[in-house]
A and B are shown apart, each in its own frame.
Chain A
């Protein structure tokens, strides 16, 4: 079955540590996205990539980094510079182009907690 896989489901980070969240898709989608969701709130865009080897900052990119070396993969690193990283992280993908015919496909999320 086609879809997006995020791992791990739960992740614990110590103060000062960098951690990497994995996102893999087999939908042959060009575009991929990372969102952060805090309790009871909507989604805020961290980074997005519309093509391999290219990515753009979203609304809250500070303290995060990404790479897009393969079409299928878009890992997110939460660096020690991110002062409040505890949140639910969601990865999504979509077809690219000027006209959107379908919505985004989301992974099941990674819950990151600072301990």
Chain B
């Protein structure tokens, strides 16, 4: 079963704009992670945020986590055409030993 659900399913923006993607989940987690997948390729790990953290930054990425609402958001600032990809959240549940992935947000950044 898919623990994480991303919203929106698809997002199209202009280069230079910010992109925000959201993820909701259902059970208690140790951490939440975001991955990027370029078309036809494997996933690349972007950032991991622990359940006791509320915000984390990495370059142009900003991730927030609200465990009371069981939700997370990924913000990509000053987007570039090269950011065009699918973005997945993945949850590391306290009850299990492996990640569970959502269905992803397809981001298109138009030049």
Contacts and interface: CB of A to CB of B under 8 A. Distances in A.
Interface stretch (B14-22, B27-35, B77-85): B27-35
A114 B31 CA distance: 37
Interface of B is mostly: strand
A108 B98 contact: no
Interface residues on B, range: 20 to 34
A21 interface: no
Contact of A103 (B30, B35, B97, B100): B35
Contacts of A102: 45, 48
B42 interface: yes
A42 B101 contact: yes
Interface residues on A, range: 20 to 34
Interface of B: 1-2, 30-31, 33, 35, 40-46, 48, 88, 90, 92, 97-104, 106
